[in-house]
A and B are shown apart, each in its own frame.
With several copies, the nearest count.
Chain A
Amino acid sequence: MGAQKAGAAHEPAAPTCVPGGQIPGSGGRNPAPGGVSLTHAALAGRERVGLDSWFLHFDVPELASRILPGQFLMVGMRPPATFLKRPFSVADAADGRITLLLRSYGEGTLEMSRRRIGDPFELLGPFGRGFRLDAPAARAVMIAGGIGLAPFYILARRLKELPTPPQVWLVYGERSREAVTAGVERVLHFDRVLTYTEDGSAGERGNAVDGFRRLAAAGELTGARLYACGPHRMLEALEVERERLGTPAEYSMEERMGCGFGICQGCAVPANPAHSAQAYHLLCKAGPVMDPTRVLWSHPALP
């Protein structure tokens, strides 16, 4: 499938089969290089950072050491509160700690937001292709819609760790002041933050795409590389603007995920027929970070 074609330095390290296999249920101990593990972890920390958002922290050094920015985990609780695990971008991974940025939305995320320190979780992963770190531009412009903010903490951190770190700008759109994730300001890796809210209660009135338009109009996107994450409609609107400018970009997308690693075929994202022989990409393998030109944004099945 599409995943096979897009080989590049940013893909997970070439997988090797572990002879003798993994100890079942204890994958965390001895994962293959680039391998997937099932890590049992107690919730180590929990901070409310907005009306319906939380940072959840887990101390899982082995897993944390293997996260590439933009990768995600399938997260479950014990005993399971939902049948399927839920996909979450890793918001940060440093000093042996993994941080998720959670927005409570439906049954599963609501239940997650209620868990207390010490409660048992299952972290399965890491999964997917993250953002490219091998093609840095002088300026990295991140466009985050709502909880789409999550992967940009770790991306900013890792970009800043490069030999020649780019400038990192964040355009962050939210519903309202209350929804704004307080954590944004706490992270030192952003050189500039432009906040937009739909009701104008914080930052400028508007959305993240308006922010993109403003930067474009000011000519501040020349030589920049774009990284975007947010609801489908936002990305679709962004793509219309971006295409005109031709700014190189990567978009982190969402689709329902049954497994996270290619076996359920649940996470189909319509492929751009101009670039693909197949009708769909499996987002969990081909993405979640996609080259936007590979996606058929206008497909009627998309939300």
Chain B
Amino acid sequence: MSGGSAANLAVELAGVRFQNPVWVASGTFGYGDDFQTIFDVSRLGAVVTKTLFLGPRDGNPPPRIAEVGGGMLNSIGLANIGWEAFRERKAPWLRQHLPPAQLVVNVAGNTAEEYREVALRVDAARAEVGAAALELNISCPNVNEGGTNIGCDLRLTREVLREVRAVTSLPLLVKLSPNNADLVPFARLAEEEGADGVSLINTLYGMTVDLHSRRPFLGHGSGGLSGPSLLPVGVFWTYKVHQAVRIPIVGIGGIARAEDALQYLMAGARAVQVGTASFLNPFASLEVIDGIARFLDRHRMDLEELIGVAHERRPQNVPAAAAAV
């Protein structure tokens, strides 16, 4: 329920009941506590933590963000306080301010073993921190394999999934990278390996060159593109992946308004995540919740009727290899 709306926004996903389908994306909401002076985070569908590694990471040198047409680039470099510091310093606040079904812990590692290790620790502390699900960020370089991005390699992805799936019974979401020719094989792989859902999409590779210094602007060189530019890309892959797998999809990319979230839901996502939009407007996620409720009210629809509706009466087929142009 939201505001004066009659709409029931609750949604079941990966075996968990979320009070609404609007989550906030990893790396764009800190560990939740930065919002303590802004709004009551328990109104959200879920809070996804910044990606946690086993130990802390400093991240990349500045500048770390750049504005580009239609969004921004970031090269934060997965700076995070590490799992143990999270458990000690951040989880208690979240435990107090967030019902247990609303925390999704996002983790990663530099190797498959590191993924397993951090997943194991989250699993062991699941009750203590109140974790509803685990989200795997696989858009990370594998240090053992020349830095290949795990999320762009089916073999490395499978390896990580097996390690993690073996050590946790927490609902498991795999967050897919859009830097691929096709996301369907990754989603199928996730399904095969027992993941409970896929989140998509992470950022696209990007770079901006500073004309004054005549070199890449970001301290790290390149970065990840997020914001409005990602909306049609994320909706596209949501639609495609929905045709291919049965596990639920959490739609991410460029969501700033209820209209954007509705596109993802219609394309087949069971939940969505608001990312970069929270930077410009910290209340964006709440506005998305309220806007979805209003849409359902106005059209006298159930959330369930909305999810995937775009597949039902499409005028033309989206061809198997949706080659555009």
Query: Which A residues have a C-beta under 8 Å from some C-beta of B?
Result: 1, 12, 15-22, 24-25, 27, 31-36, 38, 76, 80, 82-85, 122, 124, 255-259, 261-270, 278-280, 285, 299-302
CA distance A22 to B219 in the complex (A): 36
Partner of A20, one of B40, B68, B282: B40
Q: Could you tell me the distance in whole angstroms from the C-beta of A124 to the nearest C-beta in chain B?
A: 7
Please name all residues of chain B whose beta carbon is closer than 8 Å to the beta carbon of A83 when the two chains form the complex: 67-68, 70-72, 227-228, 280
CA distance A179 to B286 in the complex (A): 35
Asked if A24 and B65 sit within 8 Å, CB to CB, the answer is no
Secondary structure call for the B interface = loop
Asked if B65 and A264 sit within 8 Å, CB to CB, the answer is yes
Given A259-B279, A264-B279, A268-B64, 6 extra CB contacts under 8 A: A17-B97, A21-B39, A21-B43, A22-B39, A82-B67, A278-B58
Q: Could you tell me the distance in whole angstroms from the C-beta of B211 to the nearest C-beta in chain A?
A: 12
Asked if A261 and B59 sit within 8 Å, CB to CB, the answer is no
CA distance A262 to B79 in the complex (A): 12
Question: Can you offer 21 A-B residue contacts whose CB atoms are under 8 A?
Answer: A20-B40, A24-B290, A25-B281, A25-B283, A35-B37, A83-B67, A83-B72, A124-B282, A258-B279, A259-B279, A262-B34, A263-B29, A263-B35, A263-B278, A264-B27, A264-B28, A265-B76, A265-B79, A267-B62, A270-B62, A280-B79
Q: Could you tell me the distance in whole angstroms from the C-beta of A80 to the nearest C-beta in chain B?
A: 8
CA distance A266 to B217 in the complex (A): 13
* Known A22-B286, A38-B281; contact A32-B76, beta-carbon cutoff 8 A: no
Please name all residues of chain B whose beta carbon is closer than 8 Å to the beta carbon of A124 when the two chains form the complex: 281-282
Asked if B65 and A256 sit within 8 Å, CB to CB, the answer is yes
- Residues of B53-78 contacting chain A, CB below 8 A: 56, 58-68, 70-72, 74, 76
Query: Which B residues have a C-beta under 8 Å from some C-beta of A?
Result: 27-30, 34-40, 43, 50, 56, 58-68, 70-72, 74, 76, 79, 81, 97, 219, 227-228, 278-283, 286-287, 290, 315
Secondary structure call for the A interface = loop
Asked if B74 and A266 sit within 8 Å, CB to CB, the answer is yes
* Known A258-B72, A278-B58; contact A263-B28, beta-carbon cutoff 8 A: yes
Partner of B280, one of A15, A85, A262, A279: A85
Asked if A265 and B64 sit within 8 Å, CB to CB, the answer is yes
Please name all residues of chain B whose beta carbon is closer than 8 Å to the beta carbon of A262 when the two chains form the complex: 30, 34
Q: Could you tell me the distance in whole angstroms from the C-beta of B173 to the nearest C-beta in chain A?
A: 21
Please name all residues of chain A whose beta carbon is closer than 8 Å to the beta carbon of B76 when the two chains form the complex: 264-266
Asked if B64 and A256 sit within 8 Å, CB to CB, the answer is yes
Please name all residues of chain A whose beta carbon is closer than 8 Å to the beta carbon of B227 when the two chains form the complex: 83
Q: Which of B61, B278, B283 has the most chain A CB within a 10 Å cutoff?
A: B283
Please name all residues of chain A whose beta carbon is closer than 8 Å to the beta carbon of B281 when the two chains form the complex: 25, 38, 122, 124
Q: Could you tell me the distance in whole angstroms from the C-beta of B193 to the nearest C-beta in chain A?
A: 31
* A261 closest partner in B (C-beta): B34
* A27 closest partner in B (C-beta): B283
* A33 closest partner in B (C-beta): B37
Q: Could you tell me the distance in whole angstroms from the C-beta of A233 to the nearest C-beta in chain B?
A: 14
* Known A265-B59, A266-B74; contact A15-B283, beta-carbon cutoff 8 A: no
Asked if B219 and A301 sit within 8 Å, CB to CB, the answer is yes
* A32 closest partner in B (C-beta): B37
Please name all residues of chain A whose beta carbon is closer than 8 Å to the beta carbon of B58 when the two chains form the complex: 278-280
Q: Could you tell me the distance in whole angstroms from the C-beta of A226 to the nearest C-beta in chain B?
A: 25
Asked if B79 and A22 sit within 8 Å, CB to CB, the answer is no
Asked if A263 and B279 sit within 8 Å, CB to CB, the answer is yes
CA distance A83 to B76 in the complex (A): 18
